[in-house]
């Protein structure tokens, strides 16, 4: 009882001396007693000292000392100290950052039932930090913490159910866990539950409830919720239509960097809805959205540069932004671009198919809270062999989330190496690897879908995967799309799109694509004939050893000599 009284007195002293110099607290009798007892092995006091130094309560903040005292308590089995030590390892405070050590201490605390550690360990499994990425394990630890009432874990478990990772996708379960977290004021859970009420996934569609939940999250400064609330005010969904409120919420979201909100705000300024009409402000917000890749904003911005609306007229900038929008499949931009480049009347119909979107880091609505990028690339496992043990080896690694192993396994299944040939299984593993952003796997999956191997045949789905592979940087896929659109095989014949896809591959250095561009300019396929451009592309291909390109260059040179 006496020591409890001393501890209470110490914390009163901490509150009193919080802003004093370090020595003021450390010279008190209460602190010296705490230090003495902690040094003699009192884990409760060791924990308290760790807390004091970690938070700078009455002393100068010192993570190194915090680590020391937390470790002493953690090694005695104190679950709070174990979790706190894990957090310091995870963040690199007072120690060299080490996620394996973080996982070790989190696990000790989690196995003793500490719900914060259970959630933290779940996050490591979800992101592959310090442990092999494993969504099933992540779900297990999130559930343990969620069932104890941990709001962040409840939200994370909801995301697991929503995203079909580690558990069977179940919108009803997702809504249940989001609801529990939202009731505790968890902002992201409020946003996701609002989205589910908006769309009617797992719950009865209810725009009023969606708007209320978005409002709660928006007031806690969630940018996506602010943007969605702006949309609902603009459209009059679940709330009375109010453009002034829409503009207010769009601005809050846009100021946090949301490109959709910036686009909508720019359009409100352009039309004078909810705000005074102001072309300069419209230009400002549309430019911000455009630079973040918002394709509709890019189209609008190009038009503003073309006409000098809200900014100085600038043909080069107009072309630049029309080109960006055209490359993402916006038909108006494609038509405008062709018109401006050729100085001809815009064509009546433009290609309906889209070009590749370059790979960019975009926030995903279905990510686990505070996800981090994996520390390292998958281990290089060497060239595949042909026996059963190699297939088993790749299967094991693929099941742990190694995209290269999944690709190698699919190759073996497709070719019948190391066991029976199985197109359906191969297609399944190509899909898994492709979903992990493996461009080669996406390319091979596209081929199987086009051919109808291992599952349903679909030209449109196949083209979609070829485009995804190209967006992942796999240039052979762009070349393949160029051939498809040029020949009208498994795709509508479209010289404009063929040229654009060949250009994507050619700029990646593929000589066959460079050769095709040479042919296009030499023959005037979908463009004005341009011998100089044709020669430029033939030369690039020839320099890489493509004989056909060298022959074309020689022929062009001979024709030129004859003409003289």
Looking at 85-89, 187-191, 423-427, which range is the least confident one?
423-427
Supply angle C-alpha 52, 58, 64, rounded to 5. Answer: 45
Instruction: Report d(CA 550, CA 221) in Å as an integer.
Output: 61
Cα dihedral sign for 114, 115, 118, 119? Answer: negative
Token code pair at residue 369: 């809270």
Helices marked H in 508-530 — which ranges?
A: 511-523
Question: What's the DSSP call for residue 490?
Answer: S
Most confident of 297-311, 393-407, 469-483: 297-311
Instruction: Report d(CA 45, CA 78) in Å as an integer.
Output: 11
pLDDT digits (tens, 9 = 90+) for 221-262: 999 999 999 999 999 999 999 999 999 999 999 999 999 999
Instruction: Report d(CA 80, CA 71) in Å as an integer.
Output: 11
pLDDT higher than 60, residue 15:
no
Q: Is 24 exposed, middle or buried (0-12, 13-18, 19+ CB in 10 A)?
A: middle
pLDDT higher than 70, residue 124:
yes
**What's domain 385-492's architecture?**
Alpha Horseshoe (1.25)
User: Residue 393: its pLDDT value, please?
Assistant: 72
Most confident of 136-145, 427-436, 468-477: 136-145
pLDDT higher than 90, residue 411:
no
Contacts of 564 (CB under 8 A, 6+ apart): none
User: Residue 38: its pLDDT value, please?
Assistant: 86
Instruction: Report d(CA 31, CA 49) in Å as an integer.
Output: 9
Instruction: Report d(CA 38, CA 66) in Å as an integer.
Output: 13
Of 192, 189, 157, 153, the closest CA to residue 173 belongs to 157
Domain 509-564 maps to which CATH number in 2.60.40, 1.10.3470, 1.25.40, 1.10.1660?
1.25.40
Of 234, 222, 284, the closest CA to residue 258 belongs to 222
Ramachandran quadrant class, 454 (left: phi over 0; alpha: psi -120 to 50; beta: rest): left
User: Residue 358: its pLDDT value, please?
Assistant: 30
Instruction: Report the length, in residues, of the chain.
Output: 564
pLDDT digits (tens, 9 = 90+) for 171-192: 999 999 999 999 999 999 999 9
Three-state SS at 444: helix
Q: Map out the domains of the chain as residue ranges.
A: 385-492, 509-564
User: Residue 213: its pLDDT value, please?
Assistant: 97
Confidence of residue 202 (pLDDT cuts 50, 70, 90): very high
Mean pLDDT of all residues in 93-112:
96
Question: What's the DSSP call for residue 266?
Answer: H
Q: How far apart are the first and last CA of the chain?
A: 110
pLDDT higher than 80, residue 406:
yes
Of 321, 354, 314, the closest CA to residue 336 belongs to 321
Mean pLDDT of all residues in 475-489:
87
- Pick the more confident residue, 454 or 333: 454
Count Cβ atoms below 10 Å from residue 216 Cβ, excluding itself.
21
Token code pair at residue 247: 């503009």
DSSP assignment of 44-57, as one string? HHHHHHHHHHHHTS
User: Residue 193: its pLDDT value, please?
Assistant: 97
Same fold, 385-492 and 509-564: yes
- Pick the more confident residue, 365 or 132: 132
């Amino acid at each position: 009882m006496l020591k409890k009284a001393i501890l209470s007195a110490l914390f009163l002293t901490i509150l009193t001396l919080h802003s004093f110099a370090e020595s003021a607290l450390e010279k008190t009798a209460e602190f010296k007693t705490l230090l003495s007892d902690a040094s003699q092995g009192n884990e409760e006091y060791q924990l308290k000292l760790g807390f004091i130094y970690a938070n700078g309560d009455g002393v100068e903040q010192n993570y190194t000392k915090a680590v020391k005292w937390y470790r002493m308590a953690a090694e005695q089995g104190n679950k709070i100290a174990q979790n706190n030590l894990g957090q310091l390892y995870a963040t690199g405070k007072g120690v060299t950052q080490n996620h394996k050590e973080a996982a070790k201490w989190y696990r000790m605390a989690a196995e003793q039932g500490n719900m914060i550690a259970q959630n933290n360990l779940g996050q490591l499994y979800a992101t592959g930090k310090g442990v092999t990425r494993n969504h099933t394990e992540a779900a297990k630890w999130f559930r343990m913490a969620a069932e104890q009432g941990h709001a962040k874990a409840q939200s994370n478990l909801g995301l697991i159910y929503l995203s079909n990772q580690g558990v069977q996708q179940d919108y009803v379960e997702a809504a249940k866990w989001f609801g529990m977290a939202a009731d505790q004021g968890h902002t992201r859970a409020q946003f996701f539950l609002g989205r589910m009420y908006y769309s009617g996934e797992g719950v009865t569609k209810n725009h009023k409830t969606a708007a209320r939940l978005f409002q709660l999250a928006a007031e806690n400064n969630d940018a996506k919720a602010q943007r969605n609330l702006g949309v609902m005010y603009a459209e009059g969904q679940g709330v009375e239509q109010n453009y002034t409120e829409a503009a207010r919420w769009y601005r809050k979201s846009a100021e946090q960097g949301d490109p959709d909100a910036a686009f909508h705000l720019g359009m409100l300024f352009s039309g004078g809805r909810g705000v005074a009409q102001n072309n300069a402000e419209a230009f400002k917000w549309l430019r911000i959205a455009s630079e973040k890749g918002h394709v509709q904003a890019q189209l609008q911005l190009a038009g503003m540069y073309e006409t000098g609306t809200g900014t100085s007229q600038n043909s080069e900038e107009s072309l630049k932004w029309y080109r960006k929008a055209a490359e993402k499949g916006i038909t108006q931009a494609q038509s405008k671009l062709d018109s401006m480049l050729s100085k001809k009347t815009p064509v009546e119909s433009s290609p309906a198919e889209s070009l590749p979107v370059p790979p960019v880091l975009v926030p995903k609505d279905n990510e686990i809270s505070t996800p981090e990028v994996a520390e390292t690339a998958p281990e290089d496992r060497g060239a595949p062999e042909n026996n059963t043990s190699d297939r088993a080896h790749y299967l094991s690694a693929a099941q742990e989330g190694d995209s290269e192993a999944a690709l190698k396994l699919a190759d073996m299944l497709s070719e019948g190496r190391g066991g029976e040939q199985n197109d359906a299984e191969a297609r399944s593993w190509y899909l898994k690897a492709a979903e992990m952003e493996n461009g080669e796997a996406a390319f091979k999956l596209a081929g199987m879908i086009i051919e109808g191997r291992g599952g349903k045949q679909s030209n449109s789905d196949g083209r979609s995967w070829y485009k995804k592979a190209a967006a992942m940087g796999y240039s052979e896929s762009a070349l393949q799309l160029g051939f498809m659109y040029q020949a009208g095989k498994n795709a509508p014949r479209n010289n404009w799109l063929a040229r654009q896809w060949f250009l994507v591959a050619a700029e990646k250095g593929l000589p066959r694509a460079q050769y095709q561009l040479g042919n296009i300019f030499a023959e005037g396929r979908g463009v004005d004939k341009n011998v100089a451009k044709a020669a430029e592309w033939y030369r690039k291909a020839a320099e890489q050893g493509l004989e056909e390109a060298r022959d074309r260059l020689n022929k062009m040179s001979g024709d030129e000599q004859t003409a003289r």
